Structure formats: structure tokens, C-alpha cells
Amino acid sequence: MTLWGVLQVITLVLVVVGAALAVWLRDLLAAVIALAASSLLLSLEFYLLQAPDVAIAEAGIGAALTTAIYILAIRKTRRKEEE
């Protein structure tokens, strides 16, 4: 296996770890950050697969825009402990 293949496998493993961490975390903000990291790693994987247009779209929409929408939604909601 070449260095390129090892890098792709490591990236995919980290994507799965980030997604599992997003599900496992109890704090919503931490879960959103883990999901954003997973999305950025996925855009890196697309770039490694020589699809830079898909990588840019994933980074721009998947990591940036979706994360911003989730954070805004979390800010607008209240926790049960605060009531």
C-alpha cells in the first residue's frame, strides 16, 4: 500500500471517529463541532480522490454553512436546566 493509500485510510477512519463522536457527545455544541470536523475530513478525502470541486462544495456547504445553521439553532433554543 502506498503512502497515498495509507493517508486515505487514515482520513476515512478519522471521518468515522468524528461521526461517532458527534453521536456520542451529550453537549450539542460539541457534537456540532465534531460533525464539522468530520465534514472537513470528508472534504479532504474528496480532494485526495482528485475531486477538488466536490471537496470545495463539501467544505463550503457541509462544514461551514451547515455548522453555522446548527450553531444558530442551538443559540435560539433553551436548555431544560435554565427553565
31-82, pLDDT tens digit by residue? 999 999 999 999 999 999 999 999 999 999 988 999 999 999 999 988 766 6
Query: Which band of pLDDT confidence, cut at 50, 70 and 90, is reported for residue 83?
Result: low
Provide the pLDDT for residue 82: 60
Provide the pLDDT for residue 62: 85
Q: What angle do CA 71, 82, 36 make, to 5 degrees?
A: 20
Over residues 19-23, the mean pLDDT reads: 94
Provide the pLDDT for residue 18: 94
Distance CA 73, CA 83 (A): 18
Q: From the CA atom positions of the chain, what is the Rg in Å?
A: 15
